[in-house]
């Protein structure tokens, strides 16, 4: 019987091509607009480290100037999201979390040892510690992360991103080859596979939707080399520190390092915070940390929210697109009213020969499902097209934000069918109210 | 006008279709007003004057490839060498380049206490001849003299005691009369600074900050291993100046130059996100208008098909083609007006909500008028084709039975 209804529905759609086209087109446009904005927003807000984001925490300390607060945020005093060198290394030495990492920044002229000097390019580096990779689920194509002893010695070794490996070594397995970083020789110990955490939550907000840096080196090696660059990351100071070189920075109260920890479970958060507060008290006894203690740990989602990584424009766009979809659906609904009204005679006849209201409803329901399916399919094509255009327009954001995954595609079709059937309910109800007699009389 | 009564009666008799169209128009109107307002705001942000002589400026960062104690000598030598080039008019060093989103912002207070907050401002600290290099216009007071210039390796303002502000910031400092600002003292982090001059415009470094007309400038030259340079070329010689300066600086062994761009590039990159949003907003607006017109068109067309006989009878009874067209145009205007009326209510409500949620500015009244006019005109365009085809229904069709 259902099959027969579908056949009837197809017939009816073909009989009024313009009307059907208008219905399908408006649904398609509305669905496409909604899905484009939703996709961008969804991709921007997705979990960058699935399965782990509630156990990864960044640590913020109240180490700031006793006289003046660090800054105001939403009318309250706020503490830095960065840490001083002494605090970061103290906490790192304690090894109290399951895993922990210090994240720094540097830039230098980089080339492979085989390239001539003139081909060196200015490159952003990421000095960090060995657990960075396992904490953030970073995939390796060749080799592996360095180990704890490399961190303590500050070995001159480097992990390359896949892209950087292509630039420097044409994508070959470059393990053991040499890279010259700022005039110093670094040996390649690992090459990453494609890795694009979106949003890139572990550093500053301005970096959130760009690609990760291409070279990772042990933090201690950047310290050994006295590397200090002021313009590719933030250094905030108080108390008139004179930042003439790295030693001055290390001894100062300037904050510039990110500190992230992975705990064995999210429940250990309070214990870890208690440890951080104990550490702060110890420091206070030593004469530091004289401000009110507001130390905190934030998990990935909280830090993304705090950092205002996801922009408001995106959320507004989703709301607008949904309103737009509703306008489109109202349009479809009025077209359906017209259509089912035009079929009054057919309904009357079918009712007269014994079809119940439920039968009529089923028949028209099939029609709305077909319209929804067609609208969804065309809407999906339009959305993919729209996303392509969007990624051209938003060329400053990573194109990975404008790609639909399978579940989003299914959502597109599904929401189209749902919308079409829900907005078809009233027209169907009206069509079922048609009295057989009134229609038969006029024939 | 005598058509109006039958129109209202007909609409009332079968209200569902027109009612749906009314809601659709209301939704469209609501979105149109809000999106239009957002788009125009963005447009104004993008076209805000920077106060700079953008066409002749280029900027870059370069290291000072010497030991820290000779930074100052090296930088002064660099300035002197660059100025010797015939294509260069002026050069200076700055803590941050306008519109690069990289810089410092600070809160200004009237007294030492944080409670007397005036405003937040973008901070520039620049070497002495920044007024000439950036092409700024000093409209009150004076510019810094050489004796005021300070050197610092870490901080942008602590060593200074004077500052210049933009006119927009002066209006915050002296809300009653901005021309009284020169000579006043403001406090930052408890330290006093005397304002010695006012520049007309100097945009802060963040393109996306709505308050970016408010900047403060300190006479401090920051000496680090990496300096930000701004160079103004003679008219028509930007390209040449860029090449010559690069060659000149690269003669120094160990020199690293980065972010070497004409200012037009900086502006383009800085405003890229906003321009992108603007394009999307415009696309949404166009899409919305198209769907609304489609809706009106569909509604009118099928209303007419349904009333084919009625039209035929009117024609047979002597109605002219024009009267038939007029009927449908009028009907559409009635529906659209209801839609706009409902839309005005929705737009006000939505705008209040949007303001709560996203702290947007409220939509001024003229947007309602323009939006209403646009929707009315679009509706008319959509209804004319079906109305014309209605007028072409022959009177004879009424006489046939179905």
Closest residue in chain A to residue B96, using alpha carbons only: A231
Contact list in A for residue B30 (CB cut-off 8 A) is 323
Would you tell me which residues 156-195 of chain B have a C-beta closer than 8 angstroms to some C-beta of chain A? 158, 189-190
**A244 — pLDDT class (breaks 50, 70, 90):** low
Is the model more confident about B363 or about A414? A414
Q: Which of B20, B224, B303 minimises the CB distance to A333?
A: B20
C-alpha to C-alpha distance for B94 and B217, rounded to whole angstroms: 10
Q: Does the structure show a pLDDT above 60 at A414?
A: yes
Query: Would you kindly state where each structural domain of chain A is located, as residue ranges?
Result: 2-47+311-442, 62-103+235-294, 106-232
Q: Do A335 and B154 lie within an 8 Å CB cutoff?
A: no
CA distance A87 to chain B (A): 21
pLDDT computed for residue B402 by the predictor: 46
What confidence score (pLDDT) does residue A231 get?
Answer: 64
Query: Tell me: the pLDDT tens digits for B169-202?
Result: 999 999 999 999 999 999 987 789 999 999 999 9
Cα–Cα–Cα angle for A45, A51, A54, rounded to 5 degrees:
75
Which residues of chain B are within 8 Å of residue A339 when distances are taken between CB atoms? 302
Is B38 within 8 Å of A243 when comparing Cβ atoms? no
Strand A296-299 and strand A56-60: pairing?
Answer: antiparallel
Shortest Cα distance, chain B CAs vs residue A66, angstroms:
12
Give the residue on B whose Cα is nearest the Cα of A246.
Answer: B225
Give the DSSP letter of residue B93. Answer: E
DSSP sequence for A75-104:
TEEE--SSB-HHHHHHHHHHT-SSEEEEE-
Is pLDDT of A215 > 80? yes
Interface contact B385, partner A, CB < 8 A = no
| Gap between the Cα atoms of A123 and A164, Å rounded | 10
- At B361 the pLDDT is 58
Per the CB < 8 A criterion, the answer to whether A361 and A433 are in contact is: no
If you average pLDDT over residues A394-405, what whole number do you get?
A: 75
Query: What is the number of other CB atoms lying within 10 angstroms of the CB of residue A11?
Result: 10
From chain B residues 7-46, the ones with a CB under 8 A of any chain A CB are 16-17, 20-21, 23-24, 27-28, 30-31, 34-35, 38
Determine contact, residues B375/B25, Cβ cutoff 8 Å: yes
DSSP B213-263: T-EEEE-EEE--SEEEEEEEEPTT-HHHHHHHHHHHHHTSTT--EEEEEEH
Q: Which whole-number Å values give the CA distances from A115 to A111, A133, A166, A176, in the listed order?
A: 6, 28, 14, 16
% helix / strand / coil in chain A, to the nearest 5?
50, 15, 30
Q: Does B319 touch chain A (CB under 8 A)?
A: no
Say whether A68 and B190 touch across the interface (CB within 8 A): yes
Of A365, A384, A381, A374, the closest CA to residue A416 belongs to: A374
Residue A266's CB: how many other CB atoms inside 10 A? Answer: 13
Which neighbouring-strand residues pair with A297? A59
- In angstroms, the separation between the Cα of residue A142 and the nearest Cα of chain B is 31
**For the sheet containing B257-262, what is the strand order?**
B88-94, B226-233, B57-63, B257-262
Environment class of A395 (CB within 10 Å of its CB; exposed 0-12, middle 13-18, buried 19+):
exposed
In chain B, which residues have their Cβ closer than 8 Å to the Cβ of A326?
A: 27
**C-alpha–C-alpha distance, residues B265 and B267, integer Å:** 5
The pLDDT value given to residue B400: 65
Residues of B with Cβ-Cβ distance to A395 under 8 angstroms: 272
Confidence at residue A237, expressed as pLDDT on a 0 to 100 scale? 80
Write the pLDDT tens digit of every residue in A334-356.
888 878 877 888 888 888 888 88
Q: Is the whole model's pTM more than 0.90, yes or no?
A: no
d(CA B336, CA B316): 29
Give yes or no for a contact between B140 and B243, defined as CB atoms under 8 angstroms apart: no
State which residue of chain A sits closest to B112, comparing Cα positions. A68
Cα A206 to Cα B208: distance, rounded to the nearest angstrom? 12
Please check whether residue A397 is in contact with residue A209, taking contact to mean a CB–CB distance below 8 angstroms.
yes
Q: Calculate ∠ Cα A36-A38-A42, nearest 5°.
A: 125
Best of A125, A238, A323, A333 to disrupt the B interface by mutation (most B CBs within 10 Å)?
A323
Distance from the Cα of B168 to chain A's closest Cα (Å) equals 22
What are the boundaries of each domain within chain B? 4-47+272-399, 66-255
CB contacts, 8 Å: B256 with chain A: 109, 122
Q: Which of A88-92, A288-292, B263-267 shows the lowest per-residue confidence on average (mean pLDDT)?
A: A288-292
φ and ψ at residue A2, rounded to 5 degrees: -60, -40
Query: Can you tell me whether residue B271 is helix, strand or coil?
Result: helix
**Interatomic CA distance for residues A334 and A235, integer angstroms:** 60
Measured over the CA atoms of residue B124, residue B125, residue B129 and residue B133, the dihedral's sign is negative
Mean pLDDT of all residues belonging to chain A = 86
| Cross-chain Cβ contact B276/A394 below 8 Å | yes
Q: Using DSSP, how many helices (H) and how many strands (E) does chain B show?
A: 11, 13
Cβ atoms of A373 and A410 closer than 8 Å: no
Q: Is residue A312 less than 8 Å (CB to CB) from chain B?
A: yes
End-to-end CA distance of chain B: 31
For residue A279, the tally of other CB atoms under 10 A from its CB is: 19
Are A327 and B284 in contact (CB < 8 Å)? Answer: no
Check if the beta carbon of residue B226 is closer than 8 Å to that of residue B61.
yes
The answer to which of A118-122, A247-251, B336-340 has the lowest mean pLDDT is A118-122
Window 135-194 of A, Cβ < 8 Å to B: none
Q: Is A356 exposed, middle or buried (0-12, 13-18, 19+ CB in 10 A)?
A: exposed
DSSP letters for B144-205: --GGG-EEESS-SSTT--EEEEEHHHHHHHSSS-GGG-TT-EEEETTEEEEEEEEES----S
Which residues in chain B come in under a pLDDT of 70? 1, 154-155, 354-362, 398-402
B279 contacts in chain A (CB < 8 Å): 393
Q: Do B277 and A237 touch (CB under 8 A)?
A: no
Mean pLDDT calculated for residue range A414-427: 91
Binary contact (A30, B291; C-beta < 8 A): yes
Write the residue in A321, A331, A426 that is nearest to B295 by C-beta: A331
Distance CA A410, CA A413 (A): 5
Distances (CA, A) of A185 to A105, A168, A188, A221: 18, 14, 10, 12
pLDDT digits (tens, 9 = 90+) for A17-63: 888 888 898 899 889 988 888 888 887 777 888 888 889 999 999 98
DSSP code for B362: P
Helix residue ranges, H only, A191-297: 219-224, 246-251, 269-285
Q: Which of A72-86, A177-191, B316-330, B351-365 has the least mean pLDDT?
A: B351-365
Q: What is the mean pLDDT of residues A268-287?
A: 93
Is A406 near chain B, with CB under 8 Å? no
- How many CA within 13 A on the CB side of residue A184? 14
């Amino acid at each position: 019987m259902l099959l027969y209804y579908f056949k009837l529905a197809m017939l009816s759609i073909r009989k009024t091509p313009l009307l059907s086209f208008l219905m399908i087109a408006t649904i398609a446009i509305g669905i496409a607009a909604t899905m484009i904005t939703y996709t961008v927003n969804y991709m921007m807000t997705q979990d960058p480290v699935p399965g782990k984001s509630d156990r990864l925490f960044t640590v913020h300390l109240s180490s700031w100037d006793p006289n003046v607060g660090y800054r105001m945020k939403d009318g309250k005093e706020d503490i830095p999201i960065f840490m001083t060198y002494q605090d970061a290394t103290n906490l790192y030495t304690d090894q109290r979390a399951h895993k922990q990492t210090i994240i720094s920044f540097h830039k230098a002229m980089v080339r492979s040892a085989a390239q001539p000097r003139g081909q060196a390019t200015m490159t952003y580096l990421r000095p960090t510690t060995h657990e960075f990779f396992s904490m953030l689920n970073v995939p390796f194509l060749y080799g592996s992360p360095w180990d704890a002893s490399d961190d303590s010695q500050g070995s001159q070794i480097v992990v390359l991103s896949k892209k950087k490996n292509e630039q420097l070594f044409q994508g070959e397995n470059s393990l053991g080859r040499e890279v010259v970083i700022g005039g110093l020789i670094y040996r390649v110990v690992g090459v990453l596979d494609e890795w694009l955490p979106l949003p890139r939550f572990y550093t500053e907000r301005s970096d959130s939707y760009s690609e990760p840096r291409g070279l990772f080196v042990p933090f201690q090696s950047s310290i050994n080399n006295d590397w200090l660059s002021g313009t590719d990351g933030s250094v905030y100071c108080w108390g008139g520190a004179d930042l003439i070189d790295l030693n001055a920075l290390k001894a100062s109260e300037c904050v510039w390092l990110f500190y992230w920890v992975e705990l064995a479970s999210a429940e250990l958060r309070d214990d870890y915070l208690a440890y951080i507060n104990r550490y702060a008290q110890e420091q206070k006894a030593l004469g530091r940390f004289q401000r009110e203690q507001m130390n905190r740990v934030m998990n990935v989602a909280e830090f993304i929210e705090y950092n205002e990584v996801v922009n408001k424009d995106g959320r507004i766009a989703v709301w607008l697109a949904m309103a737009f979809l509703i306008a489109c659906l109202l349009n479809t609904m009025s077209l359906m009213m017209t259509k089912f009204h035009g079929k009054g005679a057919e309904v009357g006849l079918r009712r007269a020969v014994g079809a119940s209201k439920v039968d009529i409803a089923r028949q028209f329901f099939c029609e709305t499902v077909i319209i929804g399916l067609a609208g969804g399919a065309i809407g999906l094509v339009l959305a993919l097209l729209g996303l392509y255009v969007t990624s051209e327009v938003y060329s400053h954001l990573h194109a990975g934000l404008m790609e639909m995954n399978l579940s989003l595609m299914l959502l597109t079709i599904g929401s189209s069918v749902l919308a079409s059937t829900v907005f078809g309910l009233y027209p169907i109800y009206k069509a079922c109210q048609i009295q057989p007699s009134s229609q038969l009389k006029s024939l | 006008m005598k058509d109006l009564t039958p129109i209202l009666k007909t609409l009332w008799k079968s209200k569902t279709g027109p009612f749906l169209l009314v809601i659709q128009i209301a939704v469209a109107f609501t979105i149109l007003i809000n999106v239009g307002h957002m788009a125009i705001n963005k447009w104004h942000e993008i076209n805000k004057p920077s106060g700079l002589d953008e066409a002749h400026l280029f900027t870059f960062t370069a290291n000072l490839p010497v030991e820290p104690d000779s930074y100052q000598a090296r930088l002064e030598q660099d300035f002197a060498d660059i100025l010797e080039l015939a294509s260069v008019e002026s050069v200076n060093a700055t803590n941050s380049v306008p519109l690069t989103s990289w810089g410092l912002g600070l809160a200004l207070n009237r007294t030492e206490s944080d409670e007397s907050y005036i405003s937040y401002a973008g901070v520039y600290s620049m070497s002495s001849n920044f007024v000439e290099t950036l092409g700024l216009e000093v409209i009150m007071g004076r510019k810094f003299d050489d004796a005021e210039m300070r050197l610092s390796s870490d901080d942008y303002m602590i060593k200074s005691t004077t500052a210049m502000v933009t006119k927009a910031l002066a209006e915050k400092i002296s809300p009653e009369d901005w021309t009284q600002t020169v000579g006043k003292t403001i406090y930052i982090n408890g330290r006093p600074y005397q304002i010695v001059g006012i520049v007309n415009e100097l945009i802060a470094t963040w393109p996306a900050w709505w308050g970016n007309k408010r900047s403060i400038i300190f006479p401090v030259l920051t000496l680090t291993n990496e300096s930000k340079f701004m160079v103004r070329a003679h008219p028509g010689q930007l390209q040449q100046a860029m090449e010559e300066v690069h060659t000149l600086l690269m003669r120094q062994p160990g020199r690293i130059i980065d972010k070497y761009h004409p200012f037009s590039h900086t502006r383009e990159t800085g405003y890229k996100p906003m321009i992108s949003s603007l394009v999307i907003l415009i696309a949404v607006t166009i899409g919305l208008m198209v769907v609304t017109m489609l809706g009106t068109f569909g509604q009118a067309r099928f209303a007419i098909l349904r009333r084919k006989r009625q039209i035929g009878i009117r024609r047979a009874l002597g109605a002219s083609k024009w009267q038939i067209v007029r009927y449908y145009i009028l009907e559409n205007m009635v529906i659209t007006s209801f839609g706009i009326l409902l839309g005005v209510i929705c737009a006000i409500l939505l705008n209040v909500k949007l303001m709560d949620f996203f702290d947007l500015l409220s939509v001024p009244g003229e947007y309602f008028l323009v939006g209403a006019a646009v929707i009315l005109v679009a509706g008319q365009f959509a209804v004319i084709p079906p109305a014309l085809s209605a007028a072409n229904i022959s009177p004879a069709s009424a006489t046939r039975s179905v």
